[in-house]
Structure 1
Amino acid sequence: MRRIAASFAVATLLLGTLAACGDDSDSSGEGSLKVSGAFGTVPTVKIDAPYSVDETKVQVITKGEGDVVEKDSTAFLNIFIANGYDGRVVDSAWPELKTPEPAETESPSASPSASETPSAPSTEKSGDTDAADGETPAADEQAEGNPTLVTLTKDTVKAINEAVVGHTIGSRVVVSAEADDAFGLGGAELGIGNQDTTVFLIDILGTALDKIDTSAAATPKGWPTVVEKDGQVTGLDFSKAMKTPKPGLQVTRLVTGTGPKAEKGSKVALRYLGQVWGAKKPFDENYTAQTPTIGGSLLTLGTGSVIKGWDQGLDGVTAGSRVLLVIPAELAYGDKGSGKDIKPGDTLTFVVDVLGVV
C-alpha cells in the first residue's frame, strides 16, 4: 500500500484534530527551518532542532499556475511531515526522505491480495534511506512522489487546510504548525509531543471530482445498464444485454470527461463496481467506500498492480469519464477464477468513474 495510506496513524490524524487558527504572521520560537527545491522535485528540508513556533507560519515555496483549491475539495497531495522538536521525519511521499524506524518497532503493512479484493492493486513499497541530523538529501531530478487524496473539510488537520485551501494547483507550500494546528494531543501515536511544532511540506498536484455528471449518458444497445439509487451506482442490469459478450476487451464511454488523460504511470482516483457478465449482483465495489481508491491506494495505471483488462481498458480515459469495461477471462482471472464469485473463464464487467488523474 502507498506509504501515507498505509501509515494508519498519520492517515487517521489527518482528520479530527484540534481547532486553533494559523496565519502567515512571523512567530517567535527557537531553532530554524530551511527548505529548498521547487514543486515536483524531491525537497531538501533542514531542521535545526529543536525548532518551534508560537504561531503557525505558512510559506509558499513555489506558486502554481493552476486553479485555486476550494474548501471541501478532494486534492491529490504529496505530503512530508516532520517533528520540529527532534527533526525526525514522521512520514513522507518521497520514501527516501523518511527517517527509518528502529528494527524492533517495525510492523509490515498488509496489502490485500487479488483473491481477497478482485481489482485491488498489490502496490510496491520503496525502501527507506537514512536522513541524519534533521536534514533530507537533495535531488535535482523530477520526482513524482507517492500522492495521497485528502478531502479538505473542517475536520481535516488545520495545517493541511492552511497549506492547500486558497492555494493554486502546482504550488509547494510549507507550514510550521504549532501543536493545536497540527496533531495536538493525538500526536503521541506519531512520537510528536502535545507542544511540539510540526513541519508540513505539501505539493498540490490536482483535484478530483466528487462524482461524474451522467445526465447525458446513454447505454449502447446490447450493453448492461448501470443501476443507481440516490445517485450512487449499486449494480449492473443485464436484462437487455446480449447473452454472450463480443470476444476480447470491450470499452465504451458512457460519459467522456474533459480532464487529464490517464496513461502509464498516472495516479488515478476512481469509483468502480464489478459484476460477472450476466450475474445478478456485484462481486466488488468502492462506491460505498470513504475514498475513491482501491484498498486505500490510488491506482497507478499500467504497472501490473491490477488485472490486465484495467491497465489496458483505462489507458487514454480522461478524468470526468464513466466507462464500461467488458474484460475476458484471459485479461482477468483466467482459468483459475477468484474467490467464490468469479469462476474459471468468467467474463467481468466494470463500471468505472474516473474522478481525477495526476
Structure 2
Amino acid sequence: MRRPTTARTALRAAAATLALSLTLAACSGGGGSDDPTTPASEDTAAASTDAPEEAPTPTAEDIAALEAVTVDGAPGAQPTVTLGATPFSVTAAVARVLDEGTGEEIADGDLVDLHSLWIKGLDGSQLSSTWESSTPEQIVVSEASLAPVLTDILVGGKVGTRFVFAVPSGEDESSLAVAEVVSKRPGRADGTAVAPADGLPTVTLADNGAPSIETVAGDPPAALTVQPLIEGAGPAVTAGQTVLVHYTGWLWDGTQFDSSWERSTPYPVENIGQGQVIAGWNEGLVGQKVGSQVLLVVPPDKGYGAEGSGETIPPDSTLVFVVDILAAS
C-alpha cells in the first residue's frame, strides 16, 4: 500500500474545478474565443514561460486527515466515503492509493478513463459522480496536465488503481475525490497507416507522437482536404460529441502557429460539427474514427477568411493541421 504522496513541483492549475485533470491550456486568443485553432495571445505565451511557483507541501495534519477518510465498496462501483471529521480541510494537495489494481501498467503520456466521486469537505455532501452519469473522465497522464501528487500515483501504476485525493478549494475549504482507473489507451493516434495522396505536406512524427511537416511546392488545394494518415479502430466521430484531440497547426508555408503537443494537454472540442472551432474542423473531423490521425488542409473560407487571426494567421491563409483523435463521447 502506497503512502500519501507529496507534490514534487508546483500544481499547475486549481484542481478544485471538480476534475482530476488540471485546467486544460486553451489555445485561445486575447478576445476570449473558444476556438482551439486560435493562437495564444502574446501575454499568455509569455506567462507560460514563467517558472512555476513552488507547490505547498502537505503537513502531518493534512496526511492524517486523509488517512482518517474511510472508503467502502467493491472496486468497479461507486464507493461510500466517510470523512474522519467535518469540516474536512487540507492545506495542500495530498493523495493515497486505496487499491493498487491488477491491469496494464500506466505510462507517462497514456490516456486513461477513470471514474471519480467528489465530496465537499465542509459537510461530506456529494458534489459530482461519473459513476452516476456512467461517463468516465478522460485524462492524459502527464506532469504538464496533472497535479504531481497524481502523476506520482498514476505513472507506473496499473489499470484498476483506486485512490483518494484531496485539495484546498477555497479559503478554509477543501474538496476530496475517490477515483478509479477504468482503462487506458495511447495518448496519440494508434492504428493502421494510410498512404496519403500526392501533393500534400509530408508528416513526420517524433518519438512521443508530436508531428512536424515538410512543405510541398505549389499552390494549396482550393477545397477542404481531409487525409487520414492513421486509421484508428474506434467508433466514428458523430456530430454533437465532445472530441478530445492532440493537434499542431501550420500555415501552408510551414510556419507553425500552435500545438497542443507543446502544452502536453489535449484539447476537448465540444459539439463537434457545430462546435466553436473553424469550419474545417467541424466538417473534417466528423466521420473519422477514434484513434485516427488526420491531416487537414483548410482553405481560407473554412478557416479565418479575409480577416485572418491576430498577428500569427494572415488574411486569406490556407492552414494545415495534423489532428490525433484520442476519444469521443
TM surpasses 0.5: yes
Q: Which residue matches 2:106? A: 70
Letter matched to residue 148 of structure 1 = I
Q: Which residue matches 1:238? A: 216
Could you say if the C-alpha distance between residues 148 and 229 of structure 1 is closer, same or farther in structure 2, counting changes exceeding 3 Å? closer
Answer yes or no: is 1:166 the counterpart of 2:175.
no
Q: Which runs of 5+ in 2 are unaligned?
A: 1-12, 26-51, 59-65, 90-94
State the TM-score, normalized to the length of structure 2: 0.59
Could you say if the C-alpha distance between residues 35 and 82 of structure 1 is closer, same or farther in structure 2, counting changes exceeding 3 Å? farther
Could you say if the C-alpha distance between residues 341 and 167 of structure 1 is closer, same or farther in structure 2, counting changes exceeding 3 Å? closer
CA distance in 2, matches of 1:68, 1:217: 28
CA distance in 1, matches of 2:155, 2:211: 34
Higher relative contact order (CA 8 A, sep 6+): 1
Answer yes or no: is 1:307 the counterpart of 2:297.
no
CA distance in 2, matches of 1:163, 1:214: 24
Answer yes or no: is 1:58 the counterpart of 2:92.
no
Answer yes or no: is 1:261 the counterpart of 2:236.
yes
Q: Which residue matches 2:139? A: 148
1:284 offset after TM fit, Å?
Answer: 1.7
CA distance in 2, matches of 1:57, 1:284: 37
The one-character-per-residue Cα deviations of 1:198-257 (angstroms, maximum 9, x if unpaired) are 843225464342444699453311222225566742334122xx514142x321112211
Could you say if the C-alpha distance between residues 17 and 356 of structure 1 is closer, same or farther in structure 2, counting changes exceeding 3 Å? farther
What are the residue-to-residue correspondences of 1:73-112 with 2, within 5 Å? 73-82=110-119, 87-88=121-122
**Correspondence for 1:342 among 287, 290, 313:** 313
Q: Identity, % of aligned pairs?
A: 26
1:45 offset after TM fit, Å?
Answer: 5.4
The one-character-per-residue Cα deviations of 1:254-306 (angstroms, maximum 9, x if unpaired) are 221113433345444433221233x2412222333323x13xxx333345132
1:78 offset after TM fit, Å?
Answer: 4.8
Q: Which residue matches 1:135? A: 125
1:17 offset after TM fit, Å?
Answer: 7.9
CA distance in 1, matches of 2:172, 2:284: 44
**Is 2:118–2:127's contact at 8 Å kept on the other side of the alignment?**
no
**Correspondence for 1:285 among 259, 280, 283:** 259
CA distance in 1, matches of 2:294, 2:249: 12
The one-character-per-residue Cα deviations of 1:88-126 (angstroms, maximum 9, x if unpaired) are 4xxxxxxxxxxxxxxxxxxxxxxxxxxxxxxxxxxxxxx
**Is 1:329–1:347's contact at 8 Å kept on the other side of the alignment?**
yes
Could you say if the C-alpha distance between residues 35 and 311 of structure 1 is closer, same or farther in structure 2, counting changes exceeding 3 Å? farther
**Is 2:118–2:177's contact at 8 Å kept on the other side of the alignment?**
yes
**Is 2:226–2:295's contact at 8 Å kept on the other side of the alignment?**
yes
**Is 1:227–1:237's contact at 8 Å kept on the other side of the alignment?**
no
CA distance in 1, matches of 2:168, 2:326: 35
1:313 offset after TM fit, Å?
Answer: 1.0
Q: Aligned pair count?
A: 267
**Is 2:210–2:261's contact at 8 Å kept on the other side of the alignment?**
yes
Answer yes or no: is 1:49 the counterpart of 2:26.
no
CA distance in 2, matches of 1:329, 1:340: 16
**Correspondence for 1:354 among 320, 325, 329:** 325
Q: Which residue matches 2:249? A: 274
Q: Which runs of 5+ in 1 are unaligned?
A: 19-27, 89-132, 177-181
The one-character-per-residue Cα deviations of 1:131-153 (angstroms, maximum 9, x if unpaired) are xx311268896364764333499
CA distance in 2, matches of 1:356, 1:138: 22
Answer yes or no: is 1:175 the counterpart of 2:192.
no
Q: Which SS does the other structure have where 2:261 is aligned? A: coil
CA distance in 1, matches of 2:117, 2:237: 25
Letter matched to residue 261 of structure 2 = Y
Answer yes or no: is 1:157 the counterpart of 2:197.
no
Q: Which SS does the other structure have where 2:153 is aligned? A: helix
The CA RMSD measured in Å over matched residues stands at 5.0
Q: Which residue matches 2:199? A: 222
CA distance in 2, matches of 1:244, 1:159: 43
Q: Which residue matches 1:96? A: none
Letter matched to residue 149 of structure 2 = V
Q: Which SS does the other structure have where 1:256 is aligned? A: strand
Q: Which residue matches 2:38? A: none
State the TM-score, normalized to the length of structure 1: 0.55
Q: Which residue matches 1:6? A: 23
